[in-house]
Amino acid sequence: MKIIMLGAPGAGKGTQAKMIAEKYGIPHVSTGDIFRANIKNGTALGKEAKQYMDQGLLVPDELTVKILLDRVAQEDCAGGYVLDGFPRTIPQAQVLDEALGKQNESIDYAVDVDVPDENIVKRMSGRRACLKCGATYHVEHIPPKQEGICDSCGSDLVLRDDDKPETVQNRLKVYHEQTQPLIEYYTQKGILRTVDGTMDMEEVFRAIVAILG
């Protein structure tokens, strides 16, 4: 099964994608996580991506598409995957569709996690991330067992550089301009499914499982 997660920054795509990956036994592929791992390791790709990410802008399509296509060509993705944070533009979606089409494959579902802008800024300021293993928490809604420490790997949790309120406003603007058109794109293809992302984490997941089967 091949699934795309759509939704504003902070809507809960990553949180749900991890739960989907576990339940269905498929890899969770996050372009944001790949970029952050590269930044952490000081690679050339990381340095390039960081310039855009810190401003709340999208990393250019060329760079992002290459990284994503390389990742899904790996063996562990042969049985499907859940994409979190890709595609974010119509050209990215088109390149993905073309690449899949060549192998007579296609995306099964695009799941839109719908959360109004008003809720987003609050979610982002409370988000805490583990840069080592990619786990995500929320200081109020989804706290780690021990404050500031990752449950999964014991590393320190951080507020991401791009989760500051000023940057979040930019990211929301970019989302509405460049990413939201994908909702229409996947509606046209007949594979868009929308879930109410304002419910608690388990309820959102139940709604998604009802769709995926």
Catalytic residues: 13, 88, 127, 160, 171
The three-class DSSP label of residue 186 is helix
- Position among 133, 158, 210, 211 found at the interface with Zn ion (CB under 5 A): 133
Cα dihedral 204→25→129→133 (10° resolution) = 170
71 binds ligand ADP (CB under 6 A): no
In the list ligand ADP, Zn ion, none, the entry touching 200 (Cβ below 5 to 8 angstroms by class) is ligand ADP
- Edge to edge, what strands does the sheet with 81-84 contain? 28-30, 81-84, 2-6, 109-114, 192-196
What whole-number distance in Å separates Cα of residue 32 and Cα of residue 37?
9
In the list ligand ADP, Zn ion, none, the entry touching 205 (Cβ below 5 to 8 angstroms by class) is none
Q: Could you tell me the smallest distance in angstroms from the CB atom of residue 48 to ligand ADP?
A: 11
Q: Could you tell me the smallest distance in angstroms from the CB atom of residue 135 to ligand ADP?
A: 9
Closest by CA position to 171, among listed 20, 85, 55: 55
Number of residues in contact with Zn ion, rule: CB under 5 A? 8
- Position among 82, 129, 130, 192 found at the interface with Zn ion (CB under 5 A): 130
179 binds ligand ADP (CB under 6 A): no
Alpha carbons within 13 A on the beta-carbon side of 130: 19
